[in-house]
Amino acid sequence: MKTLNDFNFENKKALIRVDFNVPLNEKFEVTDATRIVSAKPTIIKILEDGGSCILMSHLGRPKGFQDEFSLKHIAAKVSDILGVEVKFVTDCIGSKAEEAAANLQPGEVLLLENLRFYKEETAGDKDFAEKLSKLGDVYVNDAFGTAHRAHASTTIVAQFFEGKKCFGSLLAQEIESINKVMETGEKPVLAILGGAKVSSKITIIENILDKVDHLIIGGGMAFTFVKAQGGKIGNSICEDDKMGLALEILQHAKDKNVQVHIPIDTIAADDFSNDANTQIVDINAIPDGWEGVDAGPKSRAQFHDVVMQCKTILWNGPLGVFEMENFAQGTIELGNSIAEATKNGAFSLVGGGDSVAAVKQFGFENKVSYVSTGGGAMLESLEGKTLPGIAAILE
Ligand code: AMP
């Protein structure tokens, strides 16, 4: 796996795919700069080597050239974060971009205009990728969030940099973290899958059964498993057409010696609202008109015990409707357990969508080993897929 450390960037122009798809407010100010901050180590390493950086990214989903999606809005913020002046060029290919890249001196940073102003970017167009490739000497991919897309700047462009391409430090960290869970993790390995639907996690569950010793199935998706086994789940969220599959998964887990932990009890609410009346009930005896919205106290204690036994922990998906304050406790306690296990030496990876939001919201970000920056890319990695952006560097 080629990383930044395999290259000396002195007098080299690095063409870096970053993920600067950041949220902006109505005044075009960056409201969450996490993605820019995450790319900083890669950029600084190249500058310190004596190289220069040509940054390329998309922003939003523009239809052609649309000023509101211009990356010019974020250039000043990138400068602030890097502590280096960032030059901006109003195109990402063609004579203007080529001239700006050619004039770039060691220690300087150039930000290209939004790649997605050209439909060729998402189409993975080879000619467009070749035009991008003219701008730099070495290609660095540091955009995990788009690594599952075979776009021109994330994948196709790598063809033009044989022997001169590598992962940036963010992407390398993502790959290492996933490998630590899926390939080299110290046993016992635990995966915690929560969230709303079984259907969106089936491929992950099937793939992960070969990798883990324990599997916690929580959140809304647990009810499909409970009902499939004959439990009464009241109005709880359930995918009836996936009940057969749920039973098959339980059988596969048994065959593979994976211990599956499903909640024992639940906080049941009489309405899907924060102010609903609630009661604690056994998960398989939820009264009609009530629905399970969070893990109950016995389940939380059970999950705590499992988490504390494990040396490698993957967490994807909340244990309840954490967006509502009164139904967030199960997710918060799980976060606390994972933080404690991490402190005791376990490796913990949080990834994919809402669990990342929960971890940030409840302040666990620095108490787990790694929080992934990619939603879809993380989920596809857990499904066992080789991401095109990663494969293109390895080729
Ligand atoms: P996912 O995107 O599949 O990870 O699902 C995340 C969503 O699952 C969050 O918006 C949670 O509110 C929701 N969720 C978790 N537990 C439940 C539950 N018991 N009933 C309904 N929705 C739930």
Cα angle 22-23-25, degrees, rounded to a multiple of 5: 140
Exposed, middle or buried by CB within 10 Å (0-12, 13-18, 19+), for 236?
buried
- pLDDT tens per residue across span 293-316: 999 999 999 999 999 999 999 999
pLDDT surpassing 90 at residue 243: yes
Cα of 14 to ligand 1 centre, how many Å? Answer: 41
**Strand partners of residue 167:** 3, 141
Ligand 1 closest atom vs CA 317: 4
Pick the closest to residue 352 from 233, 194, 121 (CA basis).
Answer: 194
For ligand 1, atom 12: residue with the closest CA = 321
**Strand partners of residue 232:** 285
pLDDT surpassing 80 at residue 171: yes
Alpha-carbon gap, residue 216 to 211, rounded angstroms: 14
Q: Which residues contact 48 (CB under 8 A, 6 or more apart)?
A: none
Higher pLDDT, 197 or 225: 225
- Mutation choice for ligand 1 from 225, 235, 265, 354, CB with most ligand atoms inside 8 A: 354
pLDDT-derived band at 375 (thresholds 50, 70, 90) equals confident
Alpha-carbon gap, residue 208 to 204, rounded angstroms: 6
Cα of 320 to ligand 1 centre, how many Å? Answer: 6
pLDDT-derived band at 1 (thresholds 50, 70, 90) equals confident
Cα of 26 to ligand 1 centre, how many Å? Answer: 30
Q: Choose the catalytic residue: 12, 35, 45, 131.
A: 35
For ligand 1, atom 6: residue with the closest CA = 195
For ligand 1, atom 10: residue with the closest CA = 321
Q: Choose the catalytic residue: 51, 136, 353, 389.
A: 353
Which pLDDT does position 360 carry in this prediction? Answer: 86
DSSP state letter for 108: -
Angle between the N-to-C axes of helices 329-343 and 297-309, in degrees from 0 to 180, rounded to the nearest 10: 20
- pLDDT tens per residue across span 134-159: 999 999 999 999 999 999 999 999 99
pLDDT surpassing 90 at residue 115: yes
Which pLDDT does position 128 carry in this prediction? Answer: 98
Which pLDDT does position 144 carry in this prediction? Answer: 94
Which pLDDT does position 52 carry in this prediction? Answer: 98
Question: In this structure, which amino acid lies at residue 282?
Answer: D
255 appears as a binding residue in the annotation: no
Tokens of 263: 């909640």
pLDDT surpassing 90 at residue 109: yes
355 appears as a binding residue in the annotation: yes
Cα of 74 to ligand 1 centre, how many Å? Answer: 33
Cα of 150 to ligand 1 centre, how many Å? Answer: 29
- pLDDT tens per residue across span 312-364: 999 999 999 999 999 999 999 999 999 999 999 999 999 877 788 888 889 99
| Annotated catalytic residue 35 | yes
Percent of the chain with pLDDT over 90: 93
Exposed, middle or buried by CB within 10 Å (0-12, 13-18, 19+), for 121?
buried
- Span 373-389, mean pLDDT? 91
pLDDT-derived band at 273 (thresholds 50, 70, 90) equals very high
Residue linked to tokens 């004039």: 103
Alpha-carbon gap, residue 324 to 134, rounded angstroms: 50
Cα of 187 to ligand 1 centre, how many Å? Answer: 28
- Span 107-119, mean pLDDT? 98
Q: Write down the mean pLDDT value for the chain.
A: 96
| Annotated catalytic residue 96 | no
Alpha-carbon gap, residue 317 to 337, rounded angstroms: 15
Which pLDDT does position 224 carry in this prediction? Answer: 97
Pick the closest to residue 8 from 88, 106, 91 (CA basis).
Answer: 106
For ligand 1, atom 4: residue with the closest CA = 195
| Annotated catalytic residue 300 | no
Percent of the chain with pLDDT over 70: 100
For ligand 1, residues with CB inside 6 Å are: 195-197, 200, 219-220, 237, 292-293, 317-318, 320-321, 323, 353-354
* Residue 109 near residue 74, CB atoms below 8 Å: no
Alpha-carbon gap, residue 199 to 224, rounded angstroms: 10
For ligand 1, atom 3: residue with the closest CA = 195
Which pLDDT does position 358 carry in this prediction? Answer: 87
Ligand 1 closest atom vs CA 222: 19
Q: What is the DSSP string of 222-250?
A: HHHHHHHTT-EETT----GGGHHHHHHHH
pLDDT-derived band at 43 (thresholds 50, 70, 90) equals very high
State the pairing for strand pair 265-269/291-295: antiparallel
List domains and CATH numbers for the chain: 4-169 (3.40.50.1260), 185-382 (3.40.50.1260)
Peptide bond into 188 cis (omega under 30): yes
Residue linked to tokens 């649309």: 66
Residue linked to tokens 């940030």: 360
Pick the closest to residue 93 from 141, 119, 128 (CA basis).
Answer: 128
- Span 232-258, mean pLDDT? 97
Residue linked to tokens 């991008």: 132
Confidence (pTM): 0.91
For ligand 1, atom 21: residue with the closest CA = 220
DSSP E strand boundaries for the chain: 13-17, 52-56, 86-89, 109-112, 138-141, 165-167, 189-193, 214-217, 232-233, 259-261, 265-269, 278-282, 285-286, 291-295, 312-316, 347-350, 370-371
Q: Choose the catalytic residue: 87, 197, 298, 385.
A: 197
Which pLDDT does position 290 carry in this prediction? Answer: 98
